[in-house]
A and B are shown apart, each in its own frame.
Chain A
Amino acid sequence: MPLDTSAYSLALLRVDGRRWNELRRIHAQIRTQAAADGSSYLEMGHTKVMCVVTGPSEPGPKRGGMTGGVGGGGGERSSTADVSVSVVIAGFSSVDRKRRGRGDKRTLELQSTISSALAASLHTHLHPNSTIAISLHVLSQDGSLLAALINAATLACIDAGIPMTDYVVACTAGSTSTYAANDEGADPLLDMNHQEEQELPSLTVATLGSSDRVAVLVCESRVQVSRLEGMLAVGVDGCKQVREILDRVVREKGRRMIQEGTIEKGMSLDDMDID
């Protein structure tokens, strides 16, 4: 199903009507789940993910193999907290139902990437011998999956009150023409949807806060090396926008919690005592 990219050059509008540097609608919520230490819900366009963070807590019973997620920062008896991530891609999340087992290599790679990216910015040395378990659920997929997962995990870690250097924020960037067409006039694109990801070169970039420092850079499609600079610049710029949005969500929630007083906080503490 070739994407009609010719329309772009006429109106400079993408398939979903955005301009080259427009993000899709990002909707985020934190503290969506009373039972968890930290939780978040994030939508980037039609990509919807949920995240639940448990910890930092004592490591639970050791499970064999890689089933419990991939550990990032060292193992047991370590001087830093272990960040273990599990990603569950729901069978109903894509257009055609496709179920991935836990051994799926792509999922394992996602887990390892998120774990390693967060472990570098969380202050894991403050929580030795403990585990931060991040459990991510993908409810709906429409491109930029890794970016959405990273953003949701960051929000949930903030909600869990785990000290961290800065937000780890991510978004995707692409280019308007395929690798074969080596035209110089190719525009970089921000925030790819599924259809664009299928047809055009794209990369996922995650930065630390609003700095230019790149924590994650994943490109899985063929693209001319000369095109990389433009794509990366747009991606880093997009990350700054995403950071603003996420920051607003966190501040808004904080403001509301203060307004509502400590009641909500006290309630959740009681709930935890019962367990």
Chain B
Amino acid sequence: MPREAEPSLNERQFVLQALRENLRLDGRPFDKYRPVELIFGEQYGVVEVSFGKTKILAKTSAELTVPYVDRPLDGIFTIATELSPMTAPSFEVNRPTETEVLLSRLLEKTVRRSGALDTESLCLVAGQKCWSVRVDVHVLSHDGDLTDAACLAVVAALRHFRKPDTSIEGGLLTVYTPAEREPVPLSWLHSPFCVTWSFYGDQGEMALLDATLSEEHVRVGSCTISMNRHGEICQIAKLGGTPVDAVALLQCTNVALVKVKDFSAFLDRKLAEDAKRRDKGGLMAELSAENDR
């Protein structure tokens, strides 16, 4: 089993000493994200998110299937995360590492269990037909803070996605091709985002946002807070690590709320831009009686 290369003692101390002098290697303030980029693909539901060198591709797909026996009124919604050897040699296919398990659990709790997607709306015929929506998360390049980037990618991909329109007449289910009817967006309830803090120092007194990979290697603990812009916590995960003062954690939560609002506004803006771009030569524009003089 290949193991991740650990940073040398020199690297370790260099990063830590710099942090003690309030410096990060890339010159950012402690509570600032790297430049966030978000590019929508040609297809609906494909999005590429990058935080500095961390790059994540999320792709949404939907197919018709039979609902689970124990949940006949709910559609199926799954998030699949894959860390392939392409990301780093220490990741192997079909052998989930701890990073991967924790990442997929976090996404699961943040997006799925918080009810961001209305799964009941995915059900077409109770107990017989429903949509199965699946988001595949591919980590293309790993330079720290996978969780936040992956969460943004998943939420963006799901909100960008359009599923084929359907109708039921007299028990007959019709699925329309995009040419027949414009595909419809998913029924989306709220947009949760993850904000991950990394802690440093003996008492975990220094807290960093958006740690890079080398910073993640030397951290003594981390805490991922998922919230939506209404200030609802969807999930908090501080899974062990050096104990951190409770008051400091509350402070982290408050900063996280600000960041989540930023993410939310950023995504709304990007989605609006994309919608405008797609709309330009669309069918609706062609049929419009208005002419732009």
Contact = CB atoms under 8 A, between A and B. Distances in A.
A223 B220 CA distance: 27
A118 B1 CA distance: 25
A212 B244 CA distance: 8
Interface stretch (A50-58, A132-140, A225-233): A225-233
Interface residues of B, number: 43
Nearest to A74: B6
Given A75-B3, A116-B240, A218-B238, A224 B231 contact: yes
A86 interface: no
A66 B98 CA distance: 8
B240 A214 contact: no
A105 B231 contact: no
Q: Is the interface on chain A under 10, 10 to 19, 20 to 34, or 35 or more residues? A: 35 or more
Contacts of B231: 224-226
B95 A213 contact: no
B114 interface: yes
A156 to B, nearest CB: 17
A61 B1 CA distance: 14
Contact of B240 (A64, A211, A216): A216
B253 interface: yes
Contact of A222 (B95, B104, B221, B234): B234
A117 interface: yes
A79 B76 CA distance: 46
A66 to B, nearest CB: 7
B249 interface: yes
Nearest to B234: A222
Contacts of A49: none
Nearest to B257: A225
A101 interface: no
B184 interface: no
B141 interface: no
A44 interface: no
A9 B220 CA distance: 42
Interface in B109-128: 109, 113-115
A114 B240 contact: yes
Best-buried of A64, A70, A113, A214 by chain B (most CB within 10 Å): A214
A118 B243 CA distance: 10
Interface in B90-104: 95-98, 101-102, 104
A33 B24 CA distance: 50
Contacts of B245: 212-214
A208 interface: yes
A153 to B, nearest CB: 11
A120 interface: yes
Contacts of B235: 219-220
Interface string B159-173: 000000000000000
Given A119-B240, A220-B109, A212 B246 contact: yes
Contacts of A220: 109, 113, 235
Interface in A97-136: 103, 105-106, 108-109, 112-121
B249 A214 contact: yes
A225 B244 contact: no
A226 B250 CA distance: 10
B88 interface: no
B137 to A, nearest CB: 15
A273 B98 CA distance: 37
Given A70-B98, A117-B241, A121-B243, A218 B236 contact: yes
Given A207-B243, A229-B250, A232-B246, A218 B101 contact: no
Contacts of A8: none
B244 A214 contact: yes
B32 interface: no
21 contacts: A105-B108, A106-B105, A108-B101, A114-B240, A117-B239, A118-B240, A120-B240, A213-B204, A213-B243, A214-B249, A215-B238, A215-B241, A215-B243, A216-B239, A218-B237, A219-B237, A222-B232, A223-B232, A223-B233, A228-B253, A232-B246
Interface of A: 64-66, 70, 72, 75, 103, 105-106, 108-109, 112-121, 179, 203, 207-208, 211-220, 222-226, 228-229, 232-233, 236
Interface of B: 1, 3, 95-98, 101-102, 104-105, 108-109, 113-115, 203-204, 220-221, 223, 227, 231-247, 249-250, 253-254, 257
Given A66-B101, A219-B237, 13 more contacts: A108-B98, A112-B239, A120-B242, A203-B236, A211-B243, A212-B246, A214-B246, A218-B237, A222-B115, A223-B232, A223-B233, A224-B232, A228-B250
